[in-house]
Structure 1
Amino acid sequence: MITEQHKDTVYFSNLFARHYPEIYKELSDILSRHHVAHGALMHTKDYWCRDYMPIQWGYKTYIQFRYEPDYLTDKPQYKTNIEPVLKAMRNRMNITQSPLIIDGGNVVVCEVKEPYMKDWRPIIVMTEKLFQENSQIEREEVLAILKENFYGAEIVFLPWDKSDVCGHTDGIIHNVGDGKVLVNLNVYPLKIAREMRRRLSKCFVVVDLKLSKYHHNSWAYINMLQTRDVIIVPGLGLPTDREALEQIKELHPSYEGRIYQVNIAPIVEKWGGALNCLSWTMSEYVSGLEWLLEYDE
């Protein structure tokens, strides 16, 4: 699978661009400055396009999960129908339809490099909420479908803190690369945080985001927008904004001069999502290489 640091194109919901024009312009200006292609998705019903858009596996290979979020059962006006959104796009995509109900925010693709191997391999991190969302299917069958959808990639399941109705991992973990992940487990109950760390430590070097004070929205720092060319970290209008930004800069030395922070506190506080949630990223050119569909296979 393609991790965020290999993506080169960003889309946002047209509703986000319309309802928060100043924040959208600030993001757009940063992306334009670094020649990152970006645009708006039409026919969306809410801002969180990460959740309902397909997940890219290869150059033109995508997986489309069913978008049936239980937290929108009583709010159908916010539930996006993906078909008109995809039809309005000019991109050619080879999409595999999955029978599983999964939000894109619950799929974080990380990478590890095995000793003496040149290439890295993907590890996907998800919370166990997916088993509740697909409770009509036996657990073993859910796992088998996931293995097929993710072409046999290893999956790490984290415990679900049920106070988080979404049950997403993009506010828990950020892929740094080379087997290293950034986490902010201090915002979770101690028992759940310890179990998350135990499971992640089996595969990754786990780096904690260290803040002088933890706010109930501190998870948002992990929920950043990353492409091949730029990283944009959410700002919360708190003294810890700079602390988070400096640590993220230190973890990504190859992005020197290309890491920014944009204050999106009103969105985080009102809606409970941040920049990874607000964006859908893809690779149009797979880092500029000429790519063939056979490579995906």
Structure 2
Amino acid sequence: MTPDSQTNFLYLADTLPKKFPEFYARLERELKAQNVAFDFLPGTKDVWAVDYMPIQVGDSFIQFRYDPGYLKPLKYQKTKSDVDAICASLGIQTHKSDIVLDGGNLVRSAHQAFVTDRIFEDNPAWERKALLTELKKLLELDRIFLLPVQPGDFTGHADGMARFVNEKTILANDYAKESRKFYEALEIALHNTGLEVVKLPYNVYNNPSNNHANGDYINFLQMENVIFVPVFNFKEDEEALRIIETCFPDQKVIPIESNVLAKDGGILNCISWNIRR
């Protein structure tokens, strides 16, 4: 599978500058300053591009079914973009799978990936082992690790919980202030990977709603030579940047103030569809 660290082109939803103009202006300045090639996905209905766009595996694109449980209510149906039309306009052919999987629930390296156990809820017709086996086959992975869904998380995604540094090391949020049941389940899941775990500050506890992602630094945008990290004018900003710089010494680490975006439930990885061209 194509990891974020090997991507060199970024697509953003064309709804992003309309919905978050001030945030987009900041992001655009930094993308241009870092010489990141980017363009817009046409005809989108929401800004969370990583969720509905296909997953790149080498020169191929796997299109999973974008029909998660949290979008079943009628009021959310209007937010579902026509991915076939978007890909056709970009000249991208996809290989389709009937598995329901959001891109935000797939945290990947070249040979390994994380998903939360929400994937079983979204695919009740699949036997669990068969589902994971099929995912490994489609994505050309050696291993897939399961994480428990964080209580109160509307989407149940993994990209706000953990990220790969390399094939031996991961970053994970410090969930010490979460419920003991969730914290212990997550610690067991991370321990069972056999990977080294580096903890990243996590402070969402003064947010007025569970839907706000302010204080979740791990939802960064990583590309070939640069990592854009969300910051929030919190005291943890500096520590989070230092840890990420230490983990990725060969990449530039650029802070992007992301409060307005995070109040809508997602951050930098959520808005990004970055690929290898």
Q: TM-score, normalising length from structure 1?
A: 0.84
Q: Is the 8 A contact 1:8 1:36 kept in 2?
A: yes
Q: Distance in 2 between matches of 1:278 and 1:197?
A: 28
Q: Distance in 1 between matches of 2:202 and 2:153?
A: 21
2:163 is equivalent to residue 174 of structure 1: yes
Q: Distance in 1 between matches of 2:202 and 2:16?
A: 29
Q: Distance in 1 between matches of 2:126 and 2:204?
A: 42
Structure 2 matches for 1:72-221, cutoff 5 A?
Answer: 72-74=71-73, 75-90=76-91, 92-93=92-93, 95-110=94-109, 122-186=111-175, 188-201=178-191, 202-210=193-201, 215=206, 217=213, 220-221=216-217
Once the 2 structures are TM-superposed, how far is the Cα of residue 150 of structure 1 from its aligned partner? 2.0
| 5+ residue gaps, structure 1 | 112-121, 285-297
Q: CA offsets per residue over residues 122-147 of structure 1, 9 Å max, x none?
A: 11110010000001223243233223
Aligned to 1:281: 274
Counterpart secondary structure, 1:97: strand
The one-letter amino acid paired with 1:237 is N
**How many pairs are equivalent?**
268
Aligned to 1:37: 37
Q: Distance in 1 between matches of 2:269 and 2:228?
A: 9
| Stretch deviating more after TM superposition (137-146 or 233-242) | 137-146
Q: Distance in 1 between matches of 2:82 and 2:70?
A: 16
Once the 2 structures are TM-superposed, how far is the Cα of residue 108 of structure 1 from its aligned partner? 0.5
Aligned to 1:232: 228
Once the 2 structures are TM-superposed, how far is the Cα of residue 163 of structure 1 from its aligned partner? 1.6
Counterpart secondary structure, 1:234: strand
Q: Is the 8 A contact 1:225 1:279 kept in 2?
A: yes
Q: Distance in 2 between matches of 1:57 and 1:31?
A: 25
RMSD: 2.0
Q: CA offsets per residue over residues 118-177 of structure 1, 9 Å max, x none?
A: xxxx11110010000001223243233223212353110111234212111000001112
Aligned to 1:259: 253
2:22 is equivalent to residue 22 of structure 1: yes
Q: Once superposed, which parts of structure 1, at least 4 consecutive aligned residues long, lie more than 4 Å away?
A: 211-216
Identical-residue share of aligned pairs (%): 31
Q: TM-score, normalising length from structure 2?
A: 0.90
Q: Is the 8 A contact 1:225 1:231 kept in 2?
A: yes
2:78 is equivalent to residue 67 of structure 1: no
Once the 2 structures are TM-superposed, how far is the Cα of residue 209 of structure 1 from its aligned partner? 1.2
Q: Distance in 1 between matches of 2:167 and 2:97?
A: 29
Q: Is the 8 A contact 2:10 2:36 kept in 1?
A: yes
Q: CA offsets per residue over residues 242-271 of structure 1, 9 Å max, x none?
A: 22112211221112xx211111111211x1
Q: Is the 8 A contact 1:127 1:169 kept in 2?
A: yes
Aligned to 1:8: 8
